[in-house]
């Protein structure tokens, strides 16, 4: 191996060795009494009252096609589908869940499948016209549904890279947090007018792959710090 090749190999090996392990969690901040954190975990393995996962409109084998989708070992949506014995592919392929923008579907996972008590799917629409800014509305819908369900915490997996969409990680995390905070603030306003049930959510966990932890924290923190100034 020539010198340049050796240097590149050692750099790649060092980067891989220093990636955070599964379960690593960093707090991005607290706003409106809600703690936002980022955890290295897939949606199939996160213990939470409510797991949010996002899906584009269905294309044959889309989450299983690598590339552009993430490889199987890194693809959280593949793990969810396999844990549920192909249910995600089934409902998408049969158009029971079309993945239209902001379409939702609540699933109660059978025992011993997912670690989440409930799974909320949110549609992202057509991947060819998708814009990252849509994640603000996805974050808004996710928080509203979590408050409606009365959970004290929930986890959010954007799943864009799982589906082969090259997304700006920090921006996406920021949009999700921005939308969640807007939804929470609106509901808080309604509560002040005696037009809402008590607000239950105290923690939101954004899920990220090992290589995207720091970018996700950075994006979420930027929004939270802007809210608290």
Beta carbons of 92 and 163 less than 8 angstroms apart: no
The whole-number pLDDT of residue 66 equals: 83
The whole-number pLDDT of residue 227 equals: 78
Question: Residue for token digits 């499948």?
Answer: 113
The whole-number pLDDT of residue 228 equals: 63
Give the model confidence (pLDDT) of 35-90 as tens digits. Answer: 999 999 999 999 999 999 999 999 999 999 988 899 988 899 999 999 999 999 99
Domains in the chain (CATH in brackets) are: 23-228 (3.40.220.10)
Low-confidence ranges of the chain (pLDDT < 50): 1-4, 6-7, 9-10, 13-14
User: The pTM is what?
Assistant: 0.90
């Amino acid at each position: 191996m020539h010198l340049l090749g050796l240097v590149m190999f050692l750099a790649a090996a060092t980067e891989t060795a220093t990636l955070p392990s599964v379960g690593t969690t960093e707090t991005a901040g607290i706003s409106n009494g809600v703690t936002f954190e980022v955890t290295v975990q897939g949606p199939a393995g996160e213990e939470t009252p409510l797991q949010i996962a996002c899906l584009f409109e269905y294309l044959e084998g889309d989450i299983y096609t690598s590339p552009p989708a993430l490889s199987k070992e890194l693809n959280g949506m593949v793990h969810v589908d396999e844990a549920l014995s192909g249910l995600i592919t089934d409902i998408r392929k049969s158009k029971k869940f079309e993945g239209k923008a902001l379409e939702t579907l609540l699933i109660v996972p059978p025992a011993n499948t997912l670690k989440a008590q409930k799974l909320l799917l949110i549609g992202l629409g057509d991947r060819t016209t998708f814009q990252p800014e849509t994640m603000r509305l996805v974050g808004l819908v996710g928080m509203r549904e979590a408050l409606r369900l009365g959970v004290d915490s929930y986890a959010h997996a954007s799943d864009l890279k799982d589906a082969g969409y090259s997304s700006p990680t920090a921006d996406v995390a920021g949009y999700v947090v921005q939308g969640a905070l807007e939804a929470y603030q609106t509901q808080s306003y309604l509560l002040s007018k005696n037009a809402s049930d008590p607000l239950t959510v105290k923690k939101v966990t954004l899920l990220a792959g090992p290589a995207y932890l720091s970018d996700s924290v950075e994006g979420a923190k930027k929004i939270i710090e802007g809210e608290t100034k």
